[in-house]
Amino acid sequence: MADLSGRTAIVTGSGKGIGAAVAARLALCGAAVVVNYVHDADSAQRIVDGIRALGGTAIAVQADVCDDEQSRKLVDAAVDAFGGVDILVNNAFGRFSFDPRRRSTFTGGDWSEFHAQLEGCLHGAYLMCSQVVPLMQAQTFGRIINVSSNLVDAPIVPYHSYITAKGGLVGMTRSLAQELGGFGITVNAIAAGLTAGTASSAATTEDVREHIIAMTPLGRLARPDDIAGGVALLASDLAGFITGQCLHVDGGLTMR
């Protein structure tokens, strides 16, 4: 198991779904974790309570990471509670439903859909990085992991706005990795496959699910814990010489 003892992690959008699994896994590996949420305080507190019940350390902090002041408040809460920030997981994104029946075609959609995804995914990650990078530079250590999607490389269903935003996140990952390597900071991305048991995947039709499973060498959809395992790896010293990469966690559906 990756050892994250003595480190502090912020996981954005971690009150449920993939983010909750990531927060729990990082805590299991020894990190003190800040569980971030926007609306559902009860769900976030359940994640914190579950972590504490297993002997881990966590707090819940409400903040909209797309707001400059609130993103600063989130980072300040981590510093006040745990003394710093060593790991940032940018998991939050704009609300999106993977429903092929109701998706917007390129000519049938409009820019507002793109703007919503760029705001939720890229702007939030930009603001959070803006807050934590100076801290990481000062301590000459840091791990930034951005949660992207395998749809960027394999757009089985062309969800245009979502894929565009997640592709931009991969680009930002690589440019940051180039700039921050000299400070001992690694920046990587996780390209998550369709993940069962999340609110976003609930509307995916059965035929699309079966098509993805049939194309996946490991023969199933991703689970939140699968994504969490990839994040824990990239957050640990095991990945200390890995930066600027996009790790596909999709059972082999996308091979690069």
Per-position DSSP letters for 80-125, written without gaps between them: HHHS---EEEE---------TTTPPPTTT--HHHHHHHIIIIIIHH
Residue 104 confidence (pLDDT) above 90: no
Are 176 and 187 a contacting pair, CB within 8 Å?
A: yes
Selected residue with higher pLDDT from 133 and 197: 133
Q: Using DSSP bridges, classify how beta strands 8-11 and 32-37 pair: parallel, antiparallel or unpaired.
A: parallel
Selected residue with higher pLDDT from 168 and 100: 168
Would you name the residues annotated as active-site residues? 162
Name the phi and psi angles at 24, rounded to 5: -65, -40
What is the Cα–Cα distance from 13 to 141, expressed in whole angstroms?
Answer: 23
What is the Cα–Cα distance from 14 to 23, expressed in whole angstroms?
Answer: 7
What per-residue confidence (pLDDT) applies to 30? 98
Domains and CATH numbers, the chain: 8-249 (3.40.50.720)
Name the phi and psi angles at 2, rounded to 5: -60, 140
At 201, the pLDDT band (50, 70, 90 cuts) reads confident
Which position has the token pair 């095991």?
238
